Structure 1
Amino acid sequence: MNSNKPVFILIGLLVLAFIASKSLYVVSETERAVKLRFGKMEEADIAPGLHLKVPFVEDVRFFDARVQTLDAPPEDFLNAEKKLLTVDSFAKWRIIDVDRYYTSTNGDVRRAASLLAQRISEGLRNEFALRSLSEAVALERDEMMEDLTAGLVDATREQLGIEIVDVRVKKIELPNDVSSDVFRRMRAERERQAREYRSQGQEVAEGIRADADRQKIVIEANAYRDAEILRGEGDARAAAIYAESYGKDTEFYTFWRSLDAYRHTFNRDGDIMVLQPDSEFFNYLKDSNGKAD
Structure 2
Amino acid sequence: MNKIIPVVIVLFLAIILADSSLYVVKETERAVKLRFGRLIESDVRPGLHVKLPLADDIRKFDGRVLTLDANPESFLTVQKKRLIVDSFAKWRIADVDTYYKATGGNEAQAMNRLAKRVNDGLRNEFGSRTLNEVVSGERDQLMQDIKDGLNERVRESLGVEIVDVRVKRIDLPPEVSNAVFRRMKAEREKEARELRSKGKEEAEKIRSSAEREKTIIEATAYSESEQLRGQGDAQASATYANAFSKDAEFYAFVRSLNAYRSSFSNKGDIMLVDPQSDFFKYLNDSKAGR
Query: Normalized against structure 1, the TM-score is what?
Result: 0.73
> CA deviation digits over 1:88-110, x for unaligned, max 9?
22222222332343344443323
What is the 5 A alignment of 1:121-200? 121-129=119-127, 130-132=129-131, 136=135, 139=136, 143=140, 146-147=143-144, 150-151=147-148, 154-155=151-152, 158-159=155-156, 160-200=158-198
Aligned to 1:89: 87
Number of residue pairs the alignment of both structures matches: 279
Amino acid at match of 1:120: V
SS at match of 1:242: helix
- Shift in Å at residue 73 of structure 1? 1.7
Amino acid at match of 2:152: A
Compared CA separation, residues 260 and 185, structure 1 to 2 (3 A): same
Compared CA separation, residues 79 and 250, structure 1 to 2 (3 A): farther
Give ranges in structure 1 of 5+ residues lacking alignment.
Answer: none
Percent same amino acid at aligned positions? 51
Give ranges in structure 2 of 5+ residues lacking alignment.
Answer: none
Query: Normalized against structure 2, the TM-score is what?
Result: 0.73
What is the 5 A alignment of 1:25-174? 25-36=23-34, 41-55=39-53, 58-79=56-77, 82-129=80-127, 130-132=129-131, 136=135, 139=136, 143=140, 146-147=143-144, 150-151=147-148, 154-155=151-152, 158-159=155-156, 160-174=158-172
Q: Does structure 2 retain, via aligned residues, the 8 Å contact 1:79–1:133?
A: no
- Name which of structure 1's ranges 141-150 and 172-181 shifts more when overlaid on structure 2: 141-150
The structure 1 residue matched to 2:224, chosen from 217, 223, 226, is 226
SS at match of 1:34: strand
Give the distance between the partners of 2:95 and 2:261, measured in 1 at CA. 124
Q: Does structure 1 retain, via aligned residues, the 8 Å contact 2:253–2:282?
A: yes
> CA deviation digits over 1:30-80, x for unaligned, max 9?
210123456665333322121123456544321111222212122112246
Compared CA separation, residues 290 and 193, structure 1 to 2 (3 A): same
Give the distance between the partners of 2:184 and 2:174, measured in 1 at CA. 15
Give the distance between the partners of 2:78 and 2:188, measured in 1 at CA. 23
Compared CA separation, residues 128 and 221, structure 1 to 2 (3 A): farther
- Name which of structure 1's ranges 243-252 and 151-160 shifts more when overlaid on structure 2: 151-160
Amino acid at match of 2:206: I
Aligned to 1:201: 199
> CA deviation digits over 1:152-193, x for unaligned, max 9?
574367434433344333443333343333332233223222
Compared CA separation, residues 263 and 19, structure 1 to 2 (3 A): closer
